[in-house]
Amino acid sequence: MSGSGEPRSQQHEKKGRRVTLSRRPLPAWADIVLLPLVNVALAFLTVGIIVRIIGVDPFHALELLVAGAIGSPESIGYTLYYATNFIFTGLAVAVAFHGGLFNIGGEGQAYLGGLGCGLAILALDRYLPIWLMIPVGIIAAALFGAAWAAVPAWLQAWRGSHIVITTIMFNFVASALMVYLMVNVLIAPGSMTPQSRGFEPSAFLPQMGGNALNLSLLLALACCVAVWVFLWHTPWGYALRTMGHNPEAAVYAGTNLRHMTMLAMCISGGLAGFVGVNELMGVHHRIVLDFPAGYGFAGIAVALMGRNHPFGIALAALLFGALQQGGAELVFEIPKITRETVVLIQGLVILFSGALVQLPRPWLQALFSFRRS
Amino acid sequence: MTAPAIELSGIDKSFGSVHAVRGVSLAIEKGAITGIIGENGAGKSTLMSILYGLYRADAGEIRVDGKPVQMEGPRDAIRHGIGMVHQHFMLIDSFTVLENLILGAEGGPMLAAGLAAARAELARLSRDYGLTVDPDAKIADLSVGEQQRVEILKVLFRGARILILDEPSAVLTPQETDQLFRILATLKERGVTIVLITHKLREIMAATDRVFVMRQGQMVAERRTVDTDAEELAELMVGRKVRLHVDKAAPRRGEVRLKAEHLGLVDERGVRLLDDVGLELRSGEIVGIAGVSGNGQTELLQVLAGIRRPSNGRLVVCGRTIDAGHPGDPAEMRDLGVAHVPEDRQRQGMVAAFRASETSILGYHELPPFSQHYLLNGPAVGAHCARLMERFDVRPRVPGLRSSNFSGGNQQKLVLAREMARDPKVLLVGQPTRGVDIGAIEFIHRELVKSRDAGCAVLVVSVELDEILSLADRILVMFAGRIVGEVDGSRADERTLGLMMAGARWERGSPEPLMKRGEHRP
């Protein structure tokens, strides 16, 4: 019954409150639109300084980056193709996050989603017509992704193993499993590279435009809508958000936290699994190694930047897709900028719009209260 | 006449658009006990936080012993001899009394010297103020009353001559509260100035020499305690006439709605939280459960509401039998007609980040009309919330507002409204008026009685004895996980209940209760 803890902590808390209470909260539009834009601007400012130190004109580099991302129909196609992956993994992180779960296993779930989709296709592509093969592939991707997320979810719900730790470890397990399967089991007969036989055309997702962009983009947009409806307009989404905000209240309301943890993680894993659809059914047309290529991890930043809302996630995914595509062009055009520099740029955007997302808030608040008075 | 110990003049403080304290002036007499009373949100805590240096006033002046001072932080307050005893103890359970005493005043890199000096100083304080406590006892082994004594000693140890106590009786039994008041009286005799912040009228009347009443950030009255009474103070606090007692007819008891037999609960560590609890709840009556918090009331409510599964014994609710092998869950209990207003509304009864309309369907979100064809019906939820707000006078009437933006009383009314909306057969209510203003208390009590008269079986768990006494038709007292006594509501009095709450039991034929448990309590 007695209080414990460090006696000065409350005083600090009160002092902290004094500071925040004296400032007015930002208007909603500034919170949703202006703050992320300021974050991105800060990131680019930092990037500019670094690029200048390397000895490259930052404005020239920016010009190339933008042109590379949206300068031609082809580059726009690539930007959207990358954005598709980021939407899937961003939504995956967001759904788990609304349930109070931090799913860091998007990478492994995407990998396994691809395996599921590929296995279904390798088994059935000679028998099924395209209008049946594509839905079966998509469903298989979701099921395998969900199953890969279900194991850590079960371990957390029934055994109390922390989901952050288990999902991270499952990424490594997924990676090792895929290497084993590709090298020993699924490798095409007579092939020297660890990849499966090519899919039959009945398993090719129709292209949109001439390059990598395919119908997965529409699937991603449909997922945005579906996630929005699920989270805010169904009783299960309501219960899931209750669990995320206040688990005790969820128990009080009659929600079974174990079942809800399973549901949240399975939906999350299924969404991540769709990366396999975009990559394998849309582009590679065979099972290959390493196709998740960091999309799972970047999904965390996408969700953070998009404020865990499907609309915000779509916008953030677009930005990340543009960076990916524009960055590749930059490397091609300026020899002084290497692949690692592009990774650095992405890292800074993630840093400023993820970890440091609240950094400019006090400045904006001061600006707004100054304007009002 | 000497200068007052503390003089505040024209203190003003706003938080954003909220004007918390408006031009308050008051003088606290030296060597007296001064009470500051007001509803939650009246500004009394803010005022004291300004005095203690936690907030800085927008305007106004603070004078200590006639000299103007600047309060930049608690350090300044302590330097000027002002000490604060917080509502929640700031002690470290695994440290001894002495170690807690020197926390923040260790007096050098090595502890030994500081501890020795503290031991001598503690002996002097105990002698001077009659506050005895074993310096080498671990805090965890002390009773709550003794822990509070350590808190007071901590403040005196730092040289305070002016003591501010913020709701000191919140965690005490009536007997421990009386004990505290005796300590305060001794301190007063030795020249310590005491400021007592509370919302309990009884304590003001019992302990203070002078009382200030605050309402909506303003000081509305100053009285000598001997010249006033509880009714007048209540009226001054609320700004209108208040009935402190609930009018209710004799209960018309009907069938048994809920029955617990030999109910027991053991947690994962093997600690027995509930022990052989038996109770019966009939329609048309209010049963009150009294007890010092932490004696099993919380766990009893959780078992009755289906949140925790009993370890042994059984529970019969509206025909369904629940035991360790056949546990219920909160959703099933709701289906059976058991509504539950949880003790801690912030942590259980609502979701702070949700809109009021979302909070208004918590637990009922899968039922029509809120959920239809697998989708939530937003307009139906909003309309439902608006109806609840209208009927229970929840302000402001904005279903779209975040739940956390409502005051405590309005949050509680919303939760109560939600649980009473479906005319439950059994209504379990934990701490119905914790952190709720007097005006809202009156309303909530009336609603509970109304629901009883409509045939509901009501169980009220409260640590406020006044509340139990005015509401309950039958009173059960809990101590250490057991029900130690049952008293008829009309024949109960505070003293008997207080002794039972401290663990004494009535022995047949004995005129006085015998101390059986908790003998270590002073």
Instruction: Give A172-223 pLDDT, tens digit per residue.
Output: 999 999 999 999 999 998 888 899 999 999 999 999 877 889 999 999 999 9
How far, in whole angstroms, is CA B390 from its chain's centroid?
27
Residue pair A342/A327 in contact by the 8 Å Cβ criterion? yes
- How far is residue A293 from each of residues A107, A142, A288, A318, measured CA to CA in Å? 8, 19, 12, 17
Distance from CA of B87 to the nearest CA of A (A): 9
DSSP state, B507? Answer: P
Residues spanned by CATH 3.40.50.300 within chain B? 6-238, 243-337+423-522
CA-based radius of gyration for chain B:
25
How far, in whole angstroms, is CA A192 from its chain's centroid?
33
Of A269, A279, A264, A296, the closest CA to residue A148 belongs to: A269
Tell me whether residues A253 and B55 touch, CB distance under 8 A.
no
Taking the Cβ of residue A24 and every Cβ of chain B, the question of whether any pair is shorter than 8 Å is answered with yes
DSSP state, B138? Answer: B
Taking the Cβ of residue B74 and every Cβ of chain A, the question of whether any pair is shorter than 8 Å is answered with yes
- Cα gap B32→B35, rounded to integer Å: 10
| Residues of B in Cβ contact (< 8 Å) with A15 | 54, 73
Residue pair B107/B114 in contact by the 8 Å Cβ criterion? yes
Token pair in block for residue B509? 């034929």
B243-337+423-522 domain in CATH 3.30.470.20? no
Classify the complex by whether its ipTM is higher than 0.95, answering yes or no. no
Of chain A, the end-to-end C-alpha distance in Å amounts to: 47
Structural domains in chain A, sorted by start? 76-354 (1.10.3470)
Sheet holding B6-15, edge to edge: B18-28, B6-15, B59-64, B67-69
- How far is residue B481 from each of residues B145, B175, B300, measured CA to CA in Å? 20, 20, 8
Residue pair A111/A178 in contact by the 8 Å Cβ criterion? yes
| Number of neighbouring beta carbons within 10 Å of residue A357 | 16
- Cα gap A107→B98, rounded to integer Å: 54
Q: What is the mean pLDDT of residues A271-285?
A: 96
Of A275, A327, A331, A330, the closest CA to residue A89 belongs to: A275
Scanning the structure block, which residue is given the tokens 């699920």?
Answer: A230
Per DSSP, helices labelled H in B2-110 are 44-51, 74-79, 97-102
DSSP state, B130? Answer: -
> Nearest Cβ partner of B16 from A10, A21, A235?
A21
- Cα gap B333→B338, rounded to integer Å: 5
- How far is residue B390 from each of residues A63, A312, A346, B316, B447, measured CA to CA in Å? 59, 36, 52, 35, 14
Tell me whether residues A252 and B348 touch, CB distance under 8 A.
yes
How confident is residue A246, by pLDDT bands cut at 50, 70 and 90?
Answer: very high
Distance from CA of A348 to the nearest CA of B (A): 31
| Domain spanning B6-238: CATH superfamily | P-loop containing nucleotide triphosphate hydrolases (3.40.50.300)
Taking the Cβ of residue A249 and every Cβ of chain B, the question of whether any pair is shorter than 8 Å is answered with yes
Strands B457-461 and B59-64: unpaired
Distance from CA of B300 to the nearest CA of A (A): 14
In which element (H, E) is residue B183 found?
Answer: helix B174-189
| Residues of B in Cβ contact (< 8 Å) with A22 | 15-16
pLDDT tens-digit profile, chain B (522 residues):
578 889 999 998 887 667 888 889 999 999 899 999 887 667 888 888 888 888 888 888 999 988 898 888 888 888 899 998 887 788 888 899 988 888 877 777 777 888 888 899 888 888 888 788 888 989 888 888 888 889 888 888 888 899 999 888 777 777 788 888 988 998 999 889 999 988 788 888 888 999 999 988 889 999 999 998 888 888 888 777 766 677 788 889 999 999 999 999 998 888 889 999 999 999 999 999 998 877 889 999 999 999 999 999 999 998 899 988 888 899 999 999 999 999 888 889 999 999 999 999 999 999 888 998 889 999 999 999 999 999 998 888 889 888 988 877 888 999 999 999 989 999 999 999 887 777 788 889 999 999 999 999 999 999 888 889 889 999 999 988 999 989 998 888 888 888 888 776 544 444 444 444 433 333
β-partners of residue B198 are: B37
